Amino acid sequence: MALVGKLVRLKRMSHEDYEHLAEWCSDRSGTYSSGSTDFVSGAELQDFARRSGHVYLAVVTHDGQHVGVVDYARVTYPGNYEIGVNIGDPEQWGAGYGADALGLLLRHLFHSKNAHRVQGVVGLYNKRSIQLVCTRGFIVEGLLRDYMFFDGRYHDGVAISMLRDDYYAMCSTTTGPVLEDTVPSEERVAARHAMERLLSGDTGHHLRAFLNRSEALGG
């Protein structure tokens, strides 16, 4: 499935993208996205991703401008993911790139990676992120007291999550995100018909039960 939205697309990180991320981590956007300012290099971030299994995807506008990064990592159990969104240039905040990128990331995890639970922590000071999660179907699970520290004081974090059923319930509404399948439905139907023709000469073939099961499950 192509990770292409209305305003941005998500793509594999390049060396240059990791260097951009390193710059953003040491700047204002790092504080807004994670509550800390980290002075790391692009090579260190790339090595961290390789060792930890953490996945970063670059956020690119349709005119080719690299404006941010989304990330996800599996936590605790298969199907559980921690996510993050960082639009690096403050001049681009409020343009809708973060919301579009978050929608693409959720679609990728729930519709392609078979995620069961997606979770994250948003700084209670981050007005745009709080407004975003409040309108995107996330559930607030609690407040993390004194979770982040900067500007000489502690700041609370907001623990949020979304379950698979929450996501598909949201997609079923008229205002929810529109899901795009990787393989068009007509292709799936044509493939099934081809298999049915192959088995048509043997009415007792054991694979017929598998086909009927697939149809009952919506396959």
> What pLDDT, in 10s, does the model give residues 168-183?
999 888 677 777 777 8
For residue 45, the Cα-to-chain-centroid distance in whole angstroms is: 19
**Two structure tokens written together for 16:** 């240059």
> What pLDDT, in 10s, does the model give residues 180-199?
777 888 898 898 888 888 87
Helix axis angle for 207-216 and 185-199, nearest 10°, is: 150
The three-state secondary structure class of 61 is strand
Q: What is the mean pLDDT of residues 103-116?
A: 95
- Whole-number pLDDT of residue 1: 47
- Whole-number pLDDT of residue 68: 92
pTM of the model: 0.84
Cα Dmax for the chain: 77
> What pLDDT, in 10s, does the model give residues 151-160?
889 999 999 9
Q: What is the mean pLDDT of residues 112-117?
A: 95
Burial class for 208, CB neighbours closer than 10 Å (0-12, 13-18, 19+): middle
The three-state secondary structure class of 145 is strand
Range with lowest mean pLDDT among 56-60, 145-149, 184-188, 199-203: 199-203
- Whole-number pLDDT of residue 54: 92
Q: What is the mean pLDDT of residues 206-215?
A: 70
Higher per-residue pLDDT: 40 or 142: 142
Burial class for 198, CB neighbours closer than 10 Å (0-12, 13-18, 19+): exposed
**Two structure tokens written together for 27:** 């700047």
Q: What is the mean pLDDT of residues 107-119?
A: 95
